[in-house]
Amino acid sequence: MDLQAVVDDIAAKLAERRGEGKVADYIPELAKVDPKQFGIAITTVDGRVFTAGDATTPFSIQSISKVFMLTLALGTAGEALWKRVGREPSGSAFNSIVQLEHEHGIPRNPFINAGAIVVCDQVLASYKPKEAIGEYMRFMRSLADDDSLLIDRSVAKSETETGFRNQALANFMRSFGNLHHDVDHVLGVYFHQCALAINCVQLSRAGLFLAAQGRDPISGYSVVSAKRARRINALMLTCGHYDGSGDFAFHVGLPGKSGVGGGILAIAPGKASVAVWSPGLNKVGNSALGSVALEMLATRTGWSVFGA
């Protein structure tokens, strides 16, 4: 299959739809991003890279970071993490608080904000806040095979100043005893992980271990066990798009994780890691054109985990 022709065709077909959706504006710094951008990058398990559009323009990783922080937290806490966070789709918005009261401060899954905040708290059991961010950056640079990755401090600051909802979630969980560290420290780590600037090429490279049974097929480095990679993919499939997870499985059929920066990481197990980016979001907070692009890709490649 000519994957370069596939991504070129997707970018060409979506050219006139650039700007669809609504850029996240609850984080003031993200509201400044030009919505008419679109990029796609595929890194295959045999190390080939195919790109089209704005594939090397950096964007804010936002919630896609939750996949990588979860990987780090499972590395330090192992299965004990699952006592503090569930593995069920929430059927609610990414920043919802409603289930937390009924479920005694235990978030539904690690990919909604409440769950990701618990994951940060878990990482702080092993590292001081600055070290936790340092460890995350070391991990991301090594996975992306790119030492130039940086956190966008203006995005982190913007979210620190306006993250009232996340503060509410963190304080609420603390009241149930499911947050063990200082709320400001936990959120400091969370906001900085979300503020990582990354482009489609770097992101598709960073996710490659999930397409290759936990092992980076290019460096040969074992990131996680095959079982853990499979389980992270399962969580991405069921919970990676919040209240749009069912629809994403229906249309695309790949484990995926979205972020309000407009990026989506999708994993085609045994085949490739794919990153798409377009800042305009649909009503559940997932990239509008990014979702369409991945549906086109899945249709053209037959890569859906549910069959061609």
Ligand X SMILES: NC(=O)CC[C@H](N)C(=O)O
DSSP-based three-state secondary structure for 100: helix
In angstroms, rounded to a whole number, what is the distance separating the alpha carbons of residues 234 and 111?
12
Out of 6, 42, 123, 194, point to the residue binding ligand X (CB under 6 A): 194
In angstroms, rounded to a whole number, what is the distance separating the alpha carbons of residues 25 and 158?
11
In angstroms, rounded to a whole number, what is the distance separating the alpha carbons of residues 169 and 174?
9
Catalytic residue list contains 260: yes
Catalytic residue list contains 66: yes
Q: Is 159 annotated as a binding residue?
A: yes
Instruction: Catalytic residue, from 23, 60, 66, 274: name it.
Output: 66
- Looking at beta carbons only, is 166 or 213 nearer to ligand X? 166
Let me know if 227 is exposed, middle or buried by CB neighbors in 10 A (0-12, 13-18, 19+).
Answer: exposed
Q: Is 221 annotated as a binding residue?
A: no
User: Is 290 one of the binding residues for ligand X (CB under 6 A)?
Assistant: no
Which tokens sit at 135? Answer: 């460890």
In angstroms, rounded to a whole number, what is the distance separating the alpha carbons of residues 98 and 105?
10
User: Is 63 one of the binding residues for ligand X (CB under 6 A)?
Assistant: yes
Question: CB-side exposure of 201: number of CA atoms within 13 Å?
Answer: 16
The 229-268 site mask, x for binding ligand X (CB under 6 A), equals ------------------------------xx--------
In angstroms, rounded to a whole number, what is the distance separating the alpha carbons of residues 152 and 293?
26
Catalytic residue list contains 36: no
User: Is 162 one of the binding residues for ligand X (CB under 6 A)?
Assistant: no
User: Is 287 one of the binding residues for ligand X (CB under 6 A)?
Assistant: no
Which tokens sit at 92? Answer: 């609610």
Residue 146 zone, left/alpha/beta (φ > 0; ψ -120 to 50; rest): beta
Residue nearest to ligand X (CB): 63
Q: Is 90 annotated as a binding residue?
A: no
Q: Is 113 annotated as a binding residue?
A: yes
User: Is 94 one of the binding residues for ligand X (CB under 6 A)?
Assistant: yes
Q: Is 33 annotated as a binding residue?
A: no
Which tokens sit at 302? Answer: 């037959």
- Residues 107-146 within binding reach of ligand X (CB under 6 A): 113
Catalytic residue list contains 13: no
Interface residues toward ligand X, by CB under 6 A: 62-63, 94-95, 113, 159, 166, 194, 259-260, 285
* Active-site amino acid positions: 63, 66, 190, 242, 260
Per the annotation, binding residues for substrate are 63, 113, 159, 166, 190, 242, 260
